[in-house]
Chains A and B, each alone.
Chain A
């Protein structure tokens, strides 16, 4: 078949090929979920799966972790640029986690495999996944007081973990010797490899069915269609310059805030998201690398636009992200970056909504709770003598939006991850028993459409455990939009036993920050209380339907006192 550049492929064939590629990415994810060892894979689904062409253009992705889906574009293009296409042979798999080569943060490992067809590379299949143990200075990584990327885990530039279909033992040995939980890493890596093998087989099946030329041309046309549709969505936003400012509160080392400034220009069907004027990079681990900042902007626009636009490279072409090096939104080596991907990323996505509230008031969302609430822990399992490590994260309230209250206790907007069920958490890890896990009344920001509720979890230590934290929104509010009020802030507390008073970690252990620290040892009987922030409200609380306020009171989501104070509610108002 000759070039079909001027011949549009019929929509049915295009749709079949697009769906085949997308469902291949979904099946890659299911493979990882079903075969991995760690709950962060098989319960939380903290991974993403993608297909690229040899030029580094994203052909397809599945609906996994938004922060990774945007970031992996940079991880893959860096890898292809650094190694060159000549560097790949059939059966090779490259592993990579270096943030200063485009990885989101050190725990996120990317594996990439070329798909050869008729002796040439037709595509690359890749997955990126958060390893529960990256070999950082404290168990689970995300050490809240790290001051260099070297403290955040073993840095891997793009290297082959498999060469011509065979494991490269030296690379495996180095990685497994540096992770506290080699068996878990081994199992999770095998799951990632199986996912790549499945994708490779599927793509070859597609090429056998439709032929190389047609699939290549269909991919090109699908990217063009996505770009055209995304540009049409942007063109519907009034031209203008829209600004917004927010901040990351402390960095685990000092107590000052780090302002972030966004100047968002809508120029016909192009967007420039300019972060010039944002704070210089932090000493502590709240810095975002360029790819994370870009990914957070893409994430916002994928929320604001038609979800049926095929998710490929074309979606991203209308965007230019300007992030000056050496700042909190594009830090320079060797600054630590772990929280950039978990904390700064959702803040940036929310800032896009904040900036656009005047331009497209019907589509924006108020701020979400804006923290992944990373709480890391590890120790020795008395049942086996093995070391264990876990990255525990929590949901938050999401912002209210026109026509709906915010989601309650859903993992923050960059994650799309699930929480780990209490039973799995307690069975897998001998560290804690969970005393309570609940929604918190009055935590959602008042508004015509209320912010989603935050929550609370109380843990009792069962066996000595080392904990770290990297939380946010303990000092700054999850803001409302268009007259909506802020959601409640989060918190992190400690007490020696169930009969004592709750204290901050600063009071109890002398940490510099109440929300960001690492390597604190807790003993049996100690308790930890994690409070997750609520979401901001949308529109004036005075405009809320009294029947909804009544319902909130009945459900225990809003107290009568707060209903009276925030909404001017009086008994009988909501009766139908």
Chain B
């Protein structure tokens, strides 16, 4: 998948067996395993399953529901 034109970056988190992190894509809600796309959208750092979902978050989600109604990990925990 392309990352061209995106300001964010891929982040790899540890898989914790004692304290498993359960995170999901801010657009689609898909649970995220280790690789997470992090990008600042309108002043908020969001986590996505793929860069393409950043565009949909902007073009589809925000106009329809607004930033206050984030589907998923509205304020993500920072990677450990």
Which residues of A are interface residues toward B (Cβ below 8 A)? 74, 77-78, 81-82, 84, 100-102, 157, 265, 272, 276, 289-290, 294, 320-325, 330, 332-333
* Chain A positions within 8 Å of B31 at CB level: 78, 100-102, 289-290, 325
* Chain B positions within 8 Å of A322 at CB level: 27-29, 61, 71
* Chain B positions within 8 Å of A333 at CB level: 22
* Chain A positions within 8 Å of B17 at CB level: 157
A448 to chain B, nearest CB (A): 37
Select which of A81, A290, A294 is within 8 A of B33 by beta carbon.
A81
Q: Are B71 and A325 in contact, with the CB atoms below 8 A?
A: yes
Q: Are B33 and A323 in contact, with the CB atoms below 8 A?
A: no
Select which of B29, B53, B56 is within 8 A of A325 by beta carbon.
B29
Q: Are B33 and A82 in contact, with the CB atoms below 8 A?
A: yes
B10 to chain A, nearest CB (A): 12
A330 to chain B, nearest CB (A): 5
- With A81-B35, A325-B24 known as contacts, the answer to whether A320 contacts B29 (CB < 8 A) is no
* Chain B positions within 8 Å of A81 at CB level: 33-35
Closest to B60 in A: A272
Within the assembled complex, what's the spacing in Å between the Cα atoms of A332 and B22?
9
Which of B17, B53, B65 has the most C-beta atoms of chain A within 10 angstroms of its own C-beta? B65
Is B67 among interface residues, defined by CB-CB distance under 8 A?
Answer: no
- With A81-B33, A276-B71, A290-B30 known as contacts, the answer to whether A320 contacts B65 (CB < 8 A) is no
Closest to B59 in A: A267
A102 to chain B, nearest CB (A): 7
Q: Mark B7-36, 1 if CB is under 8 A from A, else 0.
A: 000000001010000101001111101110
Within the assembled complex, what's the spacing in Å between the Cα atoms of A320 and B71?
14
28 A-B residue contacts at CB 8 Å? A78-B31, A78-B33, A81-B35, A84-B34, A100-B22, A101-B33, A272-B56, A289-B31, A290-B24, A290-B28, A290-B29, A290-B30, A294-B30, A320-B27, A320-B28, A320-B53, A320-B56, A321-B28, A322-B27, A322-B29, A322-B61, A323-B28, A324-B29, A325-B24, A325-B29, A325-B72, A330-B29, A333-B22
Which residues of B are interface residues toward A (Cβ below 8 A)? 15, 17, 22, 24, 27-31, 33-35, 53, 56, 60-61, 65, 71-73
Within the assembled complex, what's the spacing in Å between the Cα atoms of A101 and B32?
9
* Chain A positions within 8 Å of B71 at CB level: 276, 322, 324-325
* Chain A positions within 8 Å of B65 at CB level: 276
Q: A82-B15, A325-B29, A330-B24 are in contact. List 5 more A-B contacts (CB 8 A).
A: A294-B30, A320-B53, A322-B29, A324-B71, A332-B22
Which of A84, A102, A322 has the most C-beta atoms of chain B within 10 angstroms of its own C-beta? A322
* Chain B positions within 8 Å of A101 at CB level: 31, 33
The 8 closest A-B pairs by CB, nearest first: A81-B33, A324-B71, A323-B29, A78-B33, A81-B34, A330-B29, A325-B24, A325-B29
* Chain A positions within 8 Å of B73 at CB level: 325
* Chain A positions within 8 Å of B53 at CB level: 320
Binding site secondary structure of chain A: mixed
Within the assembled complex, what's the spacing in Å between the Cα atoms of A428 and B41?
59
B21 to chain A, nearest CB (A): 11
* Chain A positions within 8 Å of B72 at CB level: 324-325
Within the assembled complex, what's the spacing in Å between the Cα atoms of A320 and B22?
21
Within the assembled complex, what's the spacing in Å between the Cα atoms of A276 and B64?
11
* Chain B positions within 8 Å of A100 at CB level: 22, 31
A280 to chain B, nearest CB (A): 13
* Chain B positions within 8 Å of A265 at CB level: 60
A158 to chain B, nearest CB (A): 10
Within the assembled complex, what's the spacing in Å between the Cα atoms of A321 and B24?
13
Within the assembled complex, what's the spacing in Å between the Cα atoms of A321 and B25?
11
Which of A100, A323, A324, A325 has the most C-beta atoms of chain B within 10 angstroms of its own C-beta? A325
B63 to chain A, nearest CB (A): 12
* Chain A positions within 8 Å of B60 at CB level: 265, 272
Select which of B22, B24, B34, B61 is within 8 A of A82 by beta carbon.
B34
* Chain B positions within 8 Å of A77 at CB level: 33
Closest to A74 in B: B30
A40 to chain B, nearest CB (A): 27
Within the assembled complex, what's the spacing in Å between the Cα atoms of A175 and B60?
45
Which of B22, B24, B29, B33 has the most C-beta atoms of chain A within 10 angstroms of its own C-beta? B29
* Chain B positions within 8 Å of A323 at CB level: 28-30
B1 to chain A, nearest CB (A): 10
Closest to B71 in A: A324
Within the assembled complex, what's the spacing in Å between the Cα atoms of A366 and B35?
40
Within the assembled complex, what's the spacing in Å between the Cα atoms of A101 and B30?
11
Closest to B15 in A: A82
Closest to A277 in B: B65
Within the assembled complex, what's the spacing in Å between the Cα atoms of A265 and B61?
12
* Chain B positions within 8 Å of A276 at CB level: 65, 71
B66 to chain A, nearest CB (A): 12
Which of B15, B35, B71 has the most C-beta atoms of chain A within 10 angstroms of its own C-beta? B71
* Chain A positions within 8 Å of B22 at CB level: 100, 332-333
Closest to A267 in B: B60
A224 to chain B, nearest CB (A): 14
Within the assembled complex, what's the spacing in Å between the Cα atoms of A225 and B29?
28
Within the assembled complex, what's the spacing in Å between the Cα atoms of A322 and B59?
14
